[in-house]
């Protein structure tokens, strides 16, 4: 464990091939790749080193394969982009040349080097050399590994019964898989069931959705679970075990949806489906086309709290379909793949006091507008304003309410511009005399057929004014509204009197997104929507294997895009299930029984209960199928009894040693988890956020892999500072493993304090994959700290942490 190239399990000579990639000018532009390649050739065990223009290209891969054969290479290092992008590509190339894919290692000299040091070629080149040295040091210690295959259950779970969820479920069911469709509301249909017409074609929304809904309800392969919620998810790709809480409807399948019960029910409350514009009873169906059509009792509204008080519905029901004894049940499902299609919420404009929503009756939201103008809605499709139920002579639409704003979501909601244009045209169609104003900042008519619709609205006489009203004031006498704002094109203040105002509210992530996020260990972008595995190349995958995204859960989008994405997600899930099996990465721990003291510390920290320690029979066993490979146990084990495959102590220490071999007093040794913080550093690179060159990143699967001895090693070798970075607490990709990270770092801080070492030199950072700037600022901040670390201080630290 002493130096980087002392030990190797196999007796065979180690021969490493190094390929330094120019990536066109992406790397070559700010790193002298030839120099790096030359340097690599001088490193121990390196048999051949060369610089390539594009190592990921076919020629590049062919060359690597050829080298393996020609030079009898048994380890390959590629210095190019992030392993999160091309590691699989190169691993495949190795395998094709007969080399075990675990004998491949990557140095990230693009995202973590050339892109963040665009203007300092010299320092960038030096850093690239270091990164290659680290990779070579680790490569020398790599071992071949066997991957295990696990079968994939040919059953899928779709969460959310909006149009996206329905489409995904139908696609998979038609392919022949069994599908469970979970919806938390009493009926499937989602947002689309609420809206009247759909742009750009002006189809009646429910008319095109209802057939799909009933298809989903009737499909022999689909099991519909409405009024249900996910409460627990266990397992892994191909073998998920999901617990679903099925709330009680209190109405059995015998219900013929005659509605007699509803008429008899004495309770009336606002109907959520109609955004409170209409009433329903305690026993109800949210809308006539609901699927399943079975009625439901809302227990919170119902008077019959103790089985005796009220029985009006029971008496009214001729088919005896009402049963108050039904209790909620928890169902356990086993599925191979999961599609998350939970949709989006709408913005609540009551947080904007200047628009008076919630106070002025005639200020409504676009969602309320949809119900108002819908023939099945509370006003029978007549455009009536709430204050006096008359047709207003003027209507104003205000765009971007709660979107593109720090008061709601930062991003554009994508649907409200076209939705307003659609609504304006609908009004013009039925009531051409109504004057319509649209106040906007930008009209975003980007999709197919959208511009035409926009043009038509202008032709019909809809008045578009650029500049949002600063406030809405109500005239108490008439309940008319005054809009005061600046026409930013003419630079004049307008004061306009209208009969009704529609706020084009934006979409925002579901309030309960964090629950789904935690259940499936997903990531969320800064705006709160679930994040895809790769924004361009894997747009419906999530970082969690076997879990896919569809519809507004991923980002605000319209129906067409939701359906497209749903079919894409279904097809991705289909690919997995059709293969029928998946290989699991060989990164699980191997116990060394001889070292094990059976202290059971590992079992206490394992988030998946994947280690069994039997003290009596002296057995320590890892259940590979359950282990996710976080390495928490390895970091916790005090007796070196768990070898984390592919992330062994020796390998990591070799990397630390490589970093600290030269100029350690200028360097920051960083440990980043694969999912969030390493990705954040990648993101900083992709966004070209320039940073100082001191940092050297060692990738682990989870920050919980970082054992205190690694930190001590870095300081003992004279490093100026150490950074441990992981996902935000509660966002950990290994349930809650990063709480251990926190504990270990805090413990180390106390150790530093005791030994008189400044705590600032060890930093802990939580950064999500989208927080590139956060990561970059941390690096800048730490670079300042490094400047203040004197050589005496380093000497002192080295002494303090040298092994005794």
Partner 1 sequence: MPVKLWRKPLDADKIPKLQYEVHIINERCDGCGFCIDFCPKDVLARAEKMNEKGFYPPQVINEANCTFCGFCRSVCPTCAIFPIEKISRNIKEVE
Partner 2 sequence: MKALEALIDLEKLKYCFECGICTASCPIAEMLPTHYNPRILLHSIHLDEERLLTSAEPWLCAWCYKCNQRCPQGLNLPEIFRAIRKYAVEHGSLEGFTSALKIIRETIPLPASCCYICFHPERTIDDSKLIEDSIQKLIIDYIITTGKTTKAVSSPTLHKERIAIVGSGPSGLTTACELAMKGYPVTVFESLPKAGGMLRVGIPEFRLPKEVLDADIGYIKDLGVEIKTNVAIGNDLMLDDLRKEYNAVLIATGMQKDKEFNIEGNDLNGVVNALDFLRQVNLGKIVELKPKVAVVCVHRLLGIDVARVALQLEPEEVRLIYRRSKKRMLFHGRIGEQMQKEFKEAEREGMKTHFMTWPTRILGKDGQVVGLECARMGLGKPNEKGLRKLIPIEGSNFVIDLDSVILAVGQAPSISPSEEIELGEENSVIVNPVTLETNLPGVYACGEIAWGPSTAIVSIASGKQAADSIDEFLRTKQVGTIKI
Ligand X SMILES: Cc1cc2nc3c(=O)[nH]c(=O)nc-3n(C[C@H](O)[C@H](O)[C@H](O)COP(=O)(O)OP(=O)(O)OC[C@H]3O[C@@H](n4cnc5c(N)ncnc54)[C@H](O)[C@@H]3O)c2cc1C
Which of the listed partners (ligand X, ligand SF4, partner 1, none) does 417 bind, with a CB threshold of 5 to 8 Å by partner kind? ligand SF4
Which CB sits closer to partner 2, 8 or 405? 405
Q: d(Cα 43, Cα 50) in Å, to the nearest integer?
A: 13
Residue range at the interface with partner 1 (CB under 8 A); choices 100-108, 383-391, 419-427, 599-607 = 383-391
- Name which of 444 and 709 has its Cβ closer to ligand SF4: 444
DSSP conformation letters of 387-416:
TTS---SEEEEEEEESSSSTTS-SS--SSH
Q: Is 339 in the site for ligand X (CB under 6 A)?
A: no
List the x/- string, 230-269, binding to partner 1 by CB under 8 A: ------------------------------------xxx-
Answer for which of 3, 6, 390, 488 binds partner 2 (CB under 8 A) is 488
- Asked if 422 contacts 205 with a C-beta cutoff of 8 angstroms, the reply is no
Q: Whole-number minimum distance, CB 364 to partner 1, in Å?
A: 9
Task: Among 152, 277, 496, 767, indicate the residue that binds partner 2 (CB under 8 A).
Answer: 496
Which lies closer to ligand SF4 via its Cβ, residue 438 or residue 712? 438
Q: Give the 3-state secondary structure percentages of the chain, helix then strand then coil, rounded to 5.
A: 35, 25, 40
Residue 778 main-chain phi, psi, to 5 deg: -65, -45
Residues in the chain: 804
| Site track for ligand X across 406-445, x = CB under 6 A | ---------x---x--x-----------------------
Choose, by CB under 8 A, the member of 407, 455, 538, 615 that binds partner 2: 407
- Site size with partner 2, rule: CB under 8 A: 32
Residue of the chain from 86, 133, 154, 191 that contacts ligand X (CB under 6 A):
191
Q: What is the distance of C-alpha 134 from the center of its chain?
A: 31
Binding of ligand X at residue 558 (CB under 6 A)?
yes
Q: Which does 468 bind (CB under 5 to 8 A by kind): ligand X, partner 1, partner 2, none?
A: partner 2
Residues with Cβ < 8 Å from 358, sequence gap 6 or more?
Answer: 349, 350
Q: How many residues bind ligand X (CB under 6 A)?
A: 41
- Rounded distance between C-alpha atoms, residue 332 and residue 786, angstroms: 54
CB 779, min distance to partner 1, A = 35
Using rule CB under 8 A, residue 580 touches partner 1: no
Residues from 440 through 479 that contact ligand SF4 (CB under 6 A): 442, 444
234, containing H or E segment: strand 228-236
Check: CB of residue 343 under 8 Å from CB of residue 162: yes
| Coil vs helix vs strand at 79 | strand
Strand partners, 765: 725
The reply on whether position 341 binds ligand X by CB under 6 A is yes
Q: Is 633 in the site for ligand SF4 (CB under 6 A)?
A: yes
Cβ atoms of 297 and 283 closer than 8 Å: yes
What is the spatial distance between Cα 440 and Cα 457, in angstroms, rounded to a whole number? Answer: 14
Interaction of residue 381 with partner 1, rule CB under 8 A: no
Q: Smallest gap, in angstroms, from Cβ of residue 478 to ligand SF4? A: 28
Count of residues that interact with ligand SF4, criterion CB under 6 A: 41
Between the alpha carbon of residue 259 and those of residues 270, 296, 298, 322, 767, the distances in Å are: 17, 11, 15, 12, 53
Nearest residue (CB) to ligand X, 402 versus 543: 402
Is the CB of residue 370 less than 8 Å from the CB of residue 195?
Answer: yes
Looking at the DSSP bridge assignments, the partners of residue 503 are 365, 398
The site partner of 475 among ligand SF4, partner 2, ligand X, none (C-beta below 5 to 8 Å per kind) is: partner 2
Q: How many helices (H) and strands (E) does the chain have?
A: 23, 38
Q: Give yes or no for a contact between 469 and 528, defined as CB atoms under 8 angstroms apart.
A: no
Q: How far is the CB of 280 from partner 1 (least distance, A)?
A: 9
16 closest CA partner among 81, 107, 89: 107
Told to check if 434 binds partner 2 by CB under 8 A, we report no
Residue closer to partner 1 (CB basis): 266 or 580: 266
Look at residue 512 and give the partner it binds from partner 2, ligand X, ligand SF4, none, a contact being a CB closer than 5 to 8 Å depending on partner kind: ligand X
For residue 298 the two structure tokens come to: 């809302």
What is the per-residue DSSP string for 706-759?
--HHHHHHHHHTT-SEEEEEEPPTT--TTTTTHHHHHHHHHHHHHHHHHTT--G
- Chain centre distance of CA 13: 44
Q: Residue 515, interface with partner 2 (CB under 8 A)?
A: no
Query: Cα separation of 799 and 804, whole Å?
Result: 10
Cβ proximity to partner 1, 184 vs 241, nearer residue: 184
The C-alpha atoms of residue 287 and residue 374 are separated, in whole angstroms, by 12
Distance CA 684, CA 690 (A): 8
Judged by beta carbon distances under 5 to 8 A according to partner kind, the member of partner 2, partner 1, ligand X, none in contact with residue 214 is: none
Residue 771 is a binding residue for ligand X (CB under 6 A): no
**Which of 17, 469, 543, 591 is close enough to bind partner 2 by CB under 8 A?**
469
The span of 163-171, 216-224, 399-407, 748-756 binding ligand SF4 (CB under 6 A) equals 399-407
Site string for partner 2, 436-465 (x = CB under 8 A): -----xx-----------------------
Q: Which residue has the tokens 């009680």?
A: 248
Q: Is 190 in the site for ligand X (CB under 6 A)?
A: yes
Contact flag: residue 265 with ligand SF4 (CB under 6 A): yes
Asked if 139 contacts 76 with a C-beta cutoff of 8 angstroms, the reply is: yes
| 353 sits near partner 1 (criterion: CB under 8 A) | no
Q: Which stretches does DSSP call E strand in 114-167?
A: 148-151, 155-159
Q: Buried b / exposed e across 659-684, counting CB within 10 Å, b at 16+?
A: bbbeebbbbbbbbbbbbbbbbbbbbb
Phi first, then psi, for residue 117 (nearest 5°) are: -130, 50
Task: Answer with the entry of partner 2, partner 1, ligand SF4, none that 474 interacts with (C-beta below 5 to 8 A by kind).
Answer: partner 2
Among 46-54, 262-270, 360-368, 523-531, the segment contacting ligand SF4 (CB under 6 A): 262-270
The candidate with the shortest Cα–Cα distance to 14, out of 140, 145, 142, is: 140
Are 199 and 422 a contacting pair, CB within 8 Å? Answer: yes
Q: Which residues contact 135 (CB under 8 A, 6 or more apart)?
A: 77, 79, 105, 106, 107
Residue 303 is a binding residue for ligand SF4 (CB under 6 A): yes
The secondary structure of 299-312, three-state, reads CCCCCCCCCCCCCH
Nearer to partner 2, 232 or 471 (CB): 471
Which of 11, 98, 146, 389 lies at the binding interface for partner 1 (CB under 8 A)? 389
Can residue 403 be called a binding residue for ligand SF4 (CB under 6 A)?
yes
- Contact between 340 and ligand SF4 by CB under 6 A: the answer reads no
Nearer to ligand X by Cβ, of 79 and 559: the residue is 559
Residue with tokens 């200047």: 354
Provide the binding-site residues for ligand X, judged by CB under 6 A.
159-165, 182-185, 190-192, 195, 198-199, 229-230, 341-344, 346, 366-367, 370, 415, 419, 422, 507, 510, 512, 516, 551-552, 557-560, 562
- List residues binding ligand SF4 (CB under 6 A): 264-267, 282-283, 297, 302-304, 310-313, 399-400, 403-404, 412-414, 416-417, 442, 444, 504, 506, 588-589, 606, 608, 610-611, 622, 627-633
Positions in the binding site for partner 2 (CB under 8 A): 354, 400, 404-407, 441-442, 466-471, 473-477, 482, 484-488, 491-497
């Amino acid at each position: 464990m002493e130096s980087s190239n002392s030990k190797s399990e196999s007796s065979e000579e180690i021969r490493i091939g190094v390929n330094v990639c120019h990536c066109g000018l992406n790397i070559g532009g700010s790193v002298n790749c030839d120099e790096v390649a030359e340097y690599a050739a001088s490193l121990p065990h390196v048999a051949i080193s060369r610089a390539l223009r594009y190592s990921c290209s076919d020629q590049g891969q062919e060359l690597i394969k050829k080298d393996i054969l020609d030079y009898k290479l048994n380890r390959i290092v590629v210095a190019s982009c992030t392993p999160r992008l091309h590691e699989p590509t190169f691993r495949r190339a190795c395998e094709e040349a007969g080399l075990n894919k675990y004998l491949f290692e990557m140095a990230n000299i693009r995202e973590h080097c050339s892109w963040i040091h665009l203007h300092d070629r010299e320092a960038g080149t030096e850093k690239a050399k270091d990164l290659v040295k680290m990779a070579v040091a680790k490569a020398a210690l790599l071992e071949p590994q066997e991957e295990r295959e696990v079968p994939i259950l040919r059953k899928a779970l779709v969460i959310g019964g909006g149009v996206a969820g329905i489409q995904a479920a139908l696609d998979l069911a038609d392919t022949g898989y069994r599908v469970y469709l979970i919806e938390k509301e009493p009926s499937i249909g989602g947002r689309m069931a609420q809206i009247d017409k759909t742009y750009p074609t002006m189809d009646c929304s429910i008319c095109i959705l209802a057939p799909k809904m009933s298809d989903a309800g009737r499909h022999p392969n689909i099991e519909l679970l409405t009024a249900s919620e996910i409460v627990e998810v266990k397992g892994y790709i191909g073998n998920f075990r999901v617990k679903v809480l099925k709330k009680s409807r209190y109405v059995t399948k015998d219900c013929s949806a005659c509605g007699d019960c509803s008429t008899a029910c004495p309770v009336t409350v606002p109907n959520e489906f109609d955004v409170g514009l209409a009433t329903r009873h305690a026993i109800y169906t949210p809308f006539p086309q609901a699927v399943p059509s079975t009625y439901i009792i809302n227990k919170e509204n119902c008077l019959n709290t103790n089985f005796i008080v009220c029985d009006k519905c029971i008496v009214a029901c001729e088919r005896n379909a009402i049963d108050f004894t039904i209790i909620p049940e928890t169902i356990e499902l086993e599925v191979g793949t999961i599609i998350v299609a939970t949709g989006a919420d709408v913005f609540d404009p009551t947080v904007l006091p200047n628009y008076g929503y919630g106070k002025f009756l005639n200020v409504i939201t676009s969602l309320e507008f949809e119900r108002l103008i819908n023939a099945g809605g509370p006003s029978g499709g007549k455009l009536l304003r709430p204050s006096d139920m008359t047709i207003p002579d003027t209507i104003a639409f205000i765009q971007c309410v709660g979107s593109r704003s720090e008061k709601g979501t930062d991003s554009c909601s994508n649907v409200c511009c076209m939705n307003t244009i659609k609504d304006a045209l609908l009004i013009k169609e039925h009531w051409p005399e109504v004057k319509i104003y649209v106040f906007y900042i930008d009209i975003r008519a980007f999709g197919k057929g959208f511009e035409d619709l926009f043009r038509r609205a202008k032709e019909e006489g809809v008045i578009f004014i650029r500049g949002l009203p600063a406030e809405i004031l109500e005239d108490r006498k008439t309940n008319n509204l005054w809009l005061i704002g600046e026409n930013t094109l003419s630079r004049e203040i307008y004061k306009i009197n209208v009969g009704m105002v529609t706020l084009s509210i934006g979409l925002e992530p579901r309030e309960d997104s964090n629950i789904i996020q935690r259940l499936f260990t997903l990531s969320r972008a800064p705006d709160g929507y679930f994040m895809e595995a790769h924004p361009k190349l894997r747009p419906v995958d999530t970082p969690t294997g076997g879990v896919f995204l569809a519809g507004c859960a991923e980002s605000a989008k319209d129906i067409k895009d939701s359906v497209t994405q749903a079919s894409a997600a279904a097809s991705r899930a289909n690919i997995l299930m059709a293969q029928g099996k998946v290989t699991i990465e060989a990164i699980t721990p191997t116990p060394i029984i001889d070292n094990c003291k059976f202290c059971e510390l590992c079992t206490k920290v394992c988030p998946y209960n994947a280690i069994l320690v039997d003290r009596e029979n002296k057995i320590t066993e890892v259940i590979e199928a359950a282990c996710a490979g976080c390495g928490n146990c390895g970091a916790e084990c005090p007796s070196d009894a768990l070898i984390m495959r592919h992330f062994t102590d020796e390998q990591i220490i070799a990397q630390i040693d490589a970093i600290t071999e030269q100029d350690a007093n200028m360097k920051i040794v960083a440990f980043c988890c694969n999912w969030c913080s390493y990705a954040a550093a990648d993101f900083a690179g992709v966004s070209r956020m320039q940073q100082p060159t001191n940092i050297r990143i060692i990738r682990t699967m989870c920050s919980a892999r970082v054992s205190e001895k690694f930190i001590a090693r870095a300081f003992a070798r004279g490093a100026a500072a150490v950074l441990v970075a992981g996902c935000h607490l509660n966002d950990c990709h290994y349930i809650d493993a990063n709480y251990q990270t926190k504990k270990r770092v805090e413990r180390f801080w106390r150790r530093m304090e005791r030994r008189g070492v400044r705590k600032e030199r060890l930093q802990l950072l939580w950064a999500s994959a989208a927080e590139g700037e956060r990561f970059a600022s941390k690096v800048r901040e730490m670079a300042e700290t490094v400047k203040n670390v004197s050589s005496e201080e380093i000497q002192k630290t080295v002494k303090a942490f040298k092994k005794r």
